[in-house]
């Protein structure tokens, strides 16, 4: 094997590899001998077929197989001899290969950057903490009680009002053709007046109706209604109020605690307090983790493999395009990120590129810290992650377990965040972390300018632009994750969803209307 270096610039390397025809022939003969040991040919005993006959009959057939083996073996030798650590899969291009000729191919790759990790013991961080107050426990108990409320039928003869739950039968028809539709019918449906469960205008017309009353509810479906057959059309629902019920929230007392399986109210309060404290601790850890990643990002500079940055950029871009409702081609496969980033403004592309670079930088950094300190993720930890995933899908746990047991790549995808958390915990143990008492609002407050511009609404972008006219440029948004989700905010950036406006519930449950 002869190796010629064609490129050595930054992290980019390219080599030309030449394997002589004699070496190729030797590999071909070795493979033919393997074939000859099992092949049956008239006139010859197994394993006794002459090599020249095997070469004539099977030589071309095994040539492609030999090519793959030789390229793999010589490339591996190249990596070992040159002590190369590829950032991504090397690109191999065969330049010349034929029977009786030398094999010539090129290997192009980017190598992992060399860098020094700072002394992690010199890190100084502040971890915000907040104590659980009685008010938060009371509020949580109130929510629990509200979730367990019961609707009790009222006996007095009074009209329905906002906040009441009415039990109704309804039968709807489109007004322009007076045709009834099965999708517009329901029986003994419990509807809280003012809940916004039905399309606008329906619930308001039930205010004042008494039990036993039948009335026509007249309204129009929204123009953006999810069912095109009804969008924008006027409709009439013949509605009968069968009962009026009043939601009753149970008293938070000893009996309530026992109904939840606790010995007494004090035990219930303690359980709720522990749960809130756990949630606050998660928020505290998230804050200090993000502060840690900001410092690590600021203190380390290195050349980044462009291929890794491009892959991360594509991943972020796909998420942004999905969030913006970008629709794929008709074949369902969707366009490639490179074809799609034209929908973003130039400053949005630049910001996503900065986030991609940050993720790759932090991913390389955390990976090196983990490797040097022999941090690993055990199989029992991976199994625990699978169990937690399964718990997210009640009733479908078996399907989740089967999925991960049959999909090794998916299983390994759970290892990355576990590995990252262990490395972060390791660094935090070394760092000088000071606890700082803060209010609950301060602990749970979102960081300013946290979302990339591409994910903000036009109004938010306009506000941010106006603010920047009078202020110094804001610090660039923290990346949400590293390559292994290193700055994962673990769900604390959930956008508030617009209130759904479903059609009246029918036998086929109502779908949510589009928020657009």
Domain containing residue 50: CATH number: 3.30.70.1050
Residues 88 and 163 in one domain: no
Residues 161 and 237 in one domain: yes
**Chain centroid offset of residue 361 CA:** 20
In a domain, 21, yes or no: yes
Residues 102 and 156 in one domain: no
CA 26, CA 104: separation in Å to the nearest integer? 16
In a domain, 197, yes or no: yes
Residues 101 and 160 in one domain: no
Cβ–Cβ < 8 Å for 259, 179: no
SS3 of 278, please?
Answer: helix
CATH of the domain at 234: 3.10.50.40
Check pLDDT > 80 for residue 104.
yes
**Phi and psi based region of residue 490 (left: phi greater than 0; alpha: psi -120 to 50; beta: remaining):** left
Burial of 353 (0-12, 13-18, 19+ CB in 10 A): middle
Per-residue model confidence as pLDDT tens digits over 61-89: 777 888 888 899 999 999 999 999 999 99
Burial of 198 (0-12, 13-18, 19+ CB in 10 A): buried
Residues 170 and 231 in one domain: yes
Residues 12 and 83 in one domain: yes
In a domain, 506, yes or no: yes
Question: What total number of domains does the chain contain?
Answer: 2
In a domain, 49, yes or no: yes
In a domain, 285, yes or no: no
Residues 23 and 90 in one domain: yes
Residues 20 and 103 in one domain: yes
Range of the domain at 173: 150-248+492-516
Per-residue model confidence as pLDDT tens digits over 149-188: 889 999 899 999 999 999 999 999 999 999 999 999 999 9
> Percent of the chain, pLDDT > 70?
78
Which of 89, 110, 131 terminates a domain? The answer is 110
Cβ–Cβ < 8 Å for 516, 323: no
Burial of 301 (0-12, 13-18, 19+ CB in 10 A): exposed
User: What is the rounded average pLDDT of the residues 8-29?
Assistant: 89
Residues 155 and 87 in one domain: no
**Range name among 13-17, 280-284, 488-492 with the lowest pLDDT average:** 488-492
Residues 106 and 168 in one domain: no
The per-residue DSSP string of 348-384 comes to: HHHHHHHHHHHHHHHHHHHHHHHHHTT----HHHHHH
Minimal CA–CA distance to 42: which of 60, 57, 63? 57
Which of 110, 133, 161 terminates a domain? The answer is 110
Which of 53, 79, 110 terminates a domain? The answer is 110
In a domain, 8, yes or no: yes
- What does the chain come to in residues? 516
In a domain, 204, yes or no: yes
286 or 325: which leads in pLDDT: 286
Per-residue model confidence as pLDDT tens digits over 460-488: 554 444 444 343 333 333 333 333 333 33
Residues 44 and 101 in one domain: yes
Residues 160 and 106 in one domain: no
In a domain, 141, yes or no: no
């Amino acid at each position: 094997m002869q190796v010629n270096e064609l490129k050595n610039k930054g992290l980019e390397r390219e080599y030309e590899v030449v394997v002589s025809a004699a070496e190729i022939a030797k590999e071909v003969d070795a493979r033919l001998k393997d074939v000859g040991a099992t092949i049956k040919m008239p006139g010859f005993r197994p394993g006794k077929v002459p090599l020249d006959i095997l070469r004539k009959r099977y030589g071309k057939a095994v040539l492609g197989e030999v090519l793959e083996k030789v390229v793999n073996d010589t490339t591996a030798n190249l990596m070992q001899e040159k002590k190369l650590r590829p950032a991504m899969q090397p690109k191999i291009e065969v330049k010349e290969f034929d029977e009786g000729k030398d094999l010539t191919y090129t290997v192009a790759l980017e190598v992992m950057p060399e860098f020094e990790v700072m002394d992690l013991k010199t890190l100084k961080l502040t971890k915000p903490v907040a104590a659980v107050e009685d008010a938060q426990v009371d509020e949580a108990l109130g929510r629990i009680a509200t979730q367990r409320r019961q609707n009790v039928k009222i006996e007095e003869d009074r009209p329905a009002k906002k906040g009441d739950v009415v039990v109704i039968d309804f039968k709807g028809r489109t007004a322009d053709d007076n045709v009834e539709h099965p999708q517009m019918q329901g029986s003994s449906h419990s509807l809280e007046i003012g809940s916004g469960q039905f399309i606008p205008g329906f619930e308001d017309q039930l205010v004042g109706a008494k039990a036993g009353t039948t009335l026509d509810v007249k309204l129009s479906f929204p123009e953006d209604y999810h069912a095109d057959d009804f969008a924008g059309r006027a409709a009439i629902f013949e509605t009968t109020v069968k009962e009026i019920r009043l939601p009753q929230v149970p008293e938070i007392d000893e009996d309530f605690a026992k109904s939840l399986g606790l010995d007494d109210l004090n035990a219930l309060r303690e359980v709720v307090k522990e749960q809130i404290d756990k949630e606050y601790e998660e928020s505290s850890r998230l804050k200090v983790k993000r502060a840690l990643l900001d410092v690590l990002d600021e203190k380390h500079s290195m050349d980044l493999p462009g291929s890794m940055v491009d892959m991360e950029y594509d991943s972020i871009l796909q998420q942004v395009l999905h969030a913006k409702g970008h629709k794929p081609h008709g074949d369902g496969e969707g366009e490639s990120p490179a074809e799609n980033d034209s929908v973003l403004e130039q400053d949005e592309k630049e910001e996503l590129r900065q986030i991609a670079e940050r993720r790759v930088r932090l991913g390389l950094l955390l990976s090196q810290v983990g490797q040097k300190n022999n941090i690993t993720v055990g199989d029992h930890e991976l199994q625990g992650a699978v169990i937690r995933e399964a718990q997210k899908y009640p009733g479908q746990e078996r399907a989740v377990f089967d999925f991960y047991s049959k999909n090794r790549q998916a299983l390994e995808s759970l290892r990355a965040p576990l590995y990252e958390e262990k490395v972060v915990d390791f660094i935090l143990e070394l760092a000088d972390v000071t606890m700082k008492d803060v209010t609950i609002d301060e602990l749970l407050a979102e960081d300013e300018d946290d979302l990339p511009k591409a994910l903000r609404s036009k109004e938010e972008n306009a506000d941010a632009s106006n603010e920047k006219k009078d202020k110094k440029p804001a610090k660039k948004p923290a990346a949400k994750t590293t390559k292994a989700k290193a700055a994962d905010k673990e769900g604390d950036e959930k956008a508030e969803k617009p209130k759904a406006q479903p059609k009246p519930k029918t036998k086929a449950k109502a779908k949510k209307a589009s928020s657009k």
